[in-house]
């Protein structure tokens, strides 16, 4: 294992243990997602004020990759507009599929996960769930 791999693994664990975005959000929109192949579950909560996401959190259970990914995502989505969030999510999903290398620094910690196709589903579970939720909110708002 290279030093970079070790660094990324440590950062993944840090996000896994970070509970600052963990927990239910009252009076928020939410959506559940499941990754049957690994047994991961994530419920994503989002509060928005007009076009802007003011708070995001999650509850869930599953492997380190799936839960760390939900944690870092909730952190990154806060403060973004719905459209910015949608673009960030699509960018991360393409990155995990190997379609782009152009990704923000904090998301490079998932680079090593790409070598394991079955784990890619773990890493993208929260993101696919968030994408559905955001597209739902956008539809309801009529844009
Ligand atoms: Zn998993």
Residues with CB under 5 A from ligand 1 (ion): 38, 40, 63, 66, 122
Q: Which fold has domain 3-141?
A: Sufe protein. Chain: A (3.90.1010)
Q: How many other CB atoms are found less than 10 A from the CB of residue 4?
A: 12
Partners of 40 in beta bridges = 35
> What mean pLDDT is predicted for residues 51-59?
97
To the nearest 10 degrees (0 to 180), the angle between helices 117-141 and 64-77 is: 30
**26 CA distance to ligand 1 centroid (A)?**
27
Averaged over 85-106, what is the pLDDT? 95
- At residue 143 the predicted structure's pLDDT band, cuts being 50, 70 and 90, is low
The pLDDT of 62-76, averaged and rounded, is: 96
Q: Cα of 123 to ligand 1 centre, how many Å?
A: 7
What is the rounded CA–CA span in Å between residue 34 and residue 26? 22
- Whole-angstrom distance, CA of residue 69 vs CA of residue 130: 12
pLDDT value of residue 110: 94
C-alpha span between 67 and 60 (Å, rounded): 7
- The pLDDT of 24-47, averaged and rounded, is 97
Q: How far is the CA of 142 from the centre of ligand 1 (A)?
A: 34
**CA 77 to centroid of ligand 1, rounded, Å:** 21
Give ∠ CA 81-97-120 in degrees, rounded to 5: 90
Distance (angstroms) between ligand 1 centre and the Cα of 113 equals 11
Residues 18 and 49: beta-carbon distance below 8 Å? no
pLDDT band at 142 (very low <50, low <70, confident <90, very high): confident
Report pLDDT for 106. Answer: 86
């Amino acid at each position: 294992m290279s030093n970079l791999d070790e660094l990324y693994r440590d950062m993944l664990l840090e996000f896994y243990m970070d509970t600052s975005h963990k927990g239910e959000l009252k009076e928020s929109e939410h959506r559940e997602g499941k990754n049957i192949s690994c047994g991961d579950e994530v419920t994503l909560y989002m509060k928005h004020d007009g076009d802007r996401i003011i708070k995001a959190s999650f509850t869930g259970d599953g492997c380190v990759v799936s839960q760390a990914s939900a944690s870092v995502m909730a952190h990154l989505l806060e403060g973004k507009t719905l459209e910015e969030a949608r673009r960030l999510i699509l960018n991360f999903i393409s990155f995990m599929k190997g379609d782009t290398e152009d990704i923000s620094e904090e998301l490079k910690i998932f680079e090593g996960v790409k070598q394991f196709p079955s784990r890619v589903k773990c890493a993208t579970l929260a993101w696919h769930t968030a994408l559905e939720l955001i597209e739902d909110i956008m539809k309801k708002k009529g844009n």
